Structure 1
Amino acid sequence: MERRTFLQQGTLAGISALAFGSAQAATGTNAGKAEKTFNMNYAPHDGMFRNSAGADFLDQIRFMHDQGFRAIEDNGMLKRDTAQQEKIGNLLAKLDMQMGVFVIDGGDNWKVSLTTGKQEFVDNFLKTCRASVETAKRCNAKWATVVPGFFERKLPIGVQTGHVIDALRRGAEILEPHGLVMVLEPLSDTPELFLRTADQTYEICRAVNSPSCKILYDIYHMQRNTGHLIPMMDLCWDEIAYIQIGDNPGRKEPGTGEINYKNIFKHLHEKGYKGVMGMEHGNFHPGKEGETALIKAYRECDDFLG
């Protein structure tokens, strides 16, 4: 199996200026008046446009489409009921939108788990992988986030790494026949997390050696943990399958912190990245005004071709 062969899928479109839709967009009655798509395929999430589109996620998706977005992500998709997963998948297909990541989480992501090598944690992970395959079919997902849990401080780091690799290999065996890719996410939320850096994740992906085990490069977390964003992205590029966004400090939209997102988006565009760009952050300002400002921020950072 060639470990470097994987698809970075998405849409690539032209420049557009901000035009915030009317209340009709929230109910999908703004058909035919959707804004132009972005140069990169940004993916909002549930709740990001609640004030403009209402509490119903399906209405929010219609609103996102009307504003020019062509993807979503939904960390909690696995926990939604089957009927709702299918409704979301059907709506995305109707609007020609992509499903970004959801999270493979059987309850062990935020504690000491896969690093221990204990069978109970491996079994739960594999069970969740099987359930994730069915969820992915319903909502047309191609990527799912995996977090291997916390360090087991009683074991040497090499042994912990070996345990994680073993579990991920078995998970990849379940996902690979269905074209579902687990994207490993190094995080900065707590120093107890085992997966911390892109280069560490790169090493693990090479060891797992499957097209169904790649890197989720979350720019916010990588700025906090290591910085050196573009050079590290380039070094790990062959194993990166998914990008997420969030400015630092604050984890809000681009332009609210220190990261030069226009430059990063331009770099990704020049590299030929056509995948989903998950908007893994909150809104800097509250209410509809904050949602308007968020879209404006993306229009400005996406205007990098001039």
Structure 2
Amino acid sequence: MSALTLDNPRPFKTLFSPEFGIFKGLAPPDPIDEIKWGYDQGFRAWENTFLKNRPVAEQERISKTVQKLNMAFGQFVGTLTFTDVTFAGRDARLRESVLADVRASVEIAKRMNTRIIHNVLGVSDPKLPWDFQMANAIDLLKRIADIYEPHGLVMVMESMNHRVDHPTMFLHTIPQAYALAKAVGRPSVKVLFDFYHVQVQEGHLLTTLDYAWDEIAYIQIGDSPGRFEPTTGEMNYPNIIKHLHDKGYKGFVGLEHGLSKPGREGAQAALNAYRTIDIQ
């Protein structure tokens, strides 16, 4: 591990959680070296959405590195589809496929020493009444809770906006996610609050955050428009981060965005942005 850089000698106060490749052009390409580089920049957490696609040996190397550096590993996706009606429908084959993914994610979580698993709720069925879709999702979420709770695991579900990015996704607002979490009523089923998606779909960011606070277990960020790094768009991220801090939030803040500029310049701009918005 290299020494801390002179420009960034201190850890971030916020538990910012980068994704592999987000600082391409600055960070080395090997995932292990990238995590070490991130540590040197002040990051004390890491996440990987598509971790389950990596070989087990590579997952183990990543986990070992994160733990050796006394960092925390955040979310990875356990089950994901952008085409199938999984949670909103009753297709037995699709629902069993979800549960198989969920069972497999238990072992990945143990391997990575994390409690947080991000499960995507699939697309909606325009031919099925909405309340039936909600009931179907509640039923499947309860079955997932039965799998996760003996292991102390927590699944988070993310609302994805219809207006710009994901017009067919079942879960698309925070009130809907909150209603699902309340209906399931289990500590293993919570909400992922992605500020970018919420800004695009519904706005009223801090009011919405506060109302749903008791069911929120994970935060992700990106600016709007464009879903680039903070400070590039209309969202007041210094105020957002301060609000989270004032509420006592000490959990993960995932860096879920692209870069506004290509290459090294864009990566450096993103790194600078996180220094700017961090608690001072």
TM-score (normalised: structure 2): 0.95
CA distance in 1, matches of 2:147, 2:210: 29
* Shift in Å, 1:147: 1.4
CA distance in 2, matches of 1:223, 1:53: 29
Is 1:182 matched with 2:158? no
Is 1:211 matched with 2:184? no
* Shift in Å, 1:209: 1.2
* Shift in Å, 1:292: 1.5
Aligned to 2:222: 246
Aligned to 1:13: none
Is 1:273 matched with 2:253? no
Task: Check the 8 A contact 1:50/1:60 in 2, yes or no.
Answer: no
SS in structure 1 at match of 2:25: helix
CA distance in 1, matches of 2:204, 2:67: 37
Task: Check the 8 A contact 1:165/1:208 in 2, yes or no.
Answer: yes
User: C-alpha root-mean-square deviation of aligned residues, in Å?
Assistant: 1.5
1:137-166 Cα deviation digits (max 9, x unpaired)? 111121111111111111110101010111
CA distance in 2, matches of 1:282, 1:175: 31
1:110-144 Cα deviation digits (max 9, x unpaired)? 43222111111111111001100001111112111
CA distance in 2, matches of 1:110, 1:241: 26
CA distance in 2, matches of 1:183, 1:109: 17
Task: Check the 8 A contact 1:147/1:185 in 2, yes or no.
Answer: yes
**Which of these residues, 116, 125, 142, is aligned with residue 89 of structure 2?**
116
1:58-89 Cα deviation digits (max 9, x unpaired)? 11111100000011110011111111111111
Compare 30-39 and 239-248 and name the one that shifted more.
30-39
**Which of these residues, 133, 150, 159, is aligned with residue 160 of structure 1?**
133
Is 1:150 matched with 2:135? no
* Shift in Å, 1:32: 9.3
Task: Check the 8 A contact 2:46/2:72 in 1, yes or no.
Answer: yes
Is 1:35 matched with 2:35? no
* Shift in Å, 1:49: 2.1
Aligned to 2:98: 125
SS in structure 2 at match of 1:115: coil
Aligned to 1:93: 67
Equivalent residue runs for 1:50-69 within 5 Å: 50-69=24-43
Cα 1:30–1:239 shift into 2, 3 Å: same
* Shift in Å, 1:31: 6.4
**Which of these residues, 256, 261, 264, is aligned with residue 288 of structure 1?**
264
Count of residue pairs brought into register by the alignment: 276
Equivalent residue runs for 1:230-241 within 5 Å: 230-241=206-217
TM-score (normalised: structure 1): 0.87
SS in structure 2 at match of 1:52: coil
Amino acid at match of 1:164: A
Task: Check the 8 A contact 2:5/2:41 in 1, yes or no.
Answer: no
Counting aligned pairs with the same residue, the percent is 45
Compare 285-294 and 255-264 and name the one that shifted more.
285-294
* Shift in Å, 1:53: 2.5
Unaligned runs of at least 5 residues, structure 2: none
Amino acid at match of 2:128: L
SS in structure 1 at match of 2:217: strand
* Shift in Å, 1:239: 0.0
* Shift in Å, 1:178: 1.2
CA distance in 1, matches of 2:5, 2:225: 38
* Shift in Å, 1:108: 3.4
Moved over 4 A (4+): 31-34
Aligned to 1:80: 54
1:210-258 Cα deviation digits (max 9, x unpaired)? 1110000000000000000000000000000000000000111110000
CA distance in 1, matches of 2:82, 2:147: 19
CA distance in 1, matches of 2:106, 2:5: 34
1:177-215 Cα deviation digits (max 9, x unpaired)? 112211010001222111011111011001111111000
Task: Check the 8 A contact 2:154/2:188 in 1, yes or no.
Answer: yes
SS in structure 2 at match of 1:284: coil
Aligned to 2:44: 70
Aligned to 2:237: 261
CA distance in 1, matches of 2:111, 2:5: 27
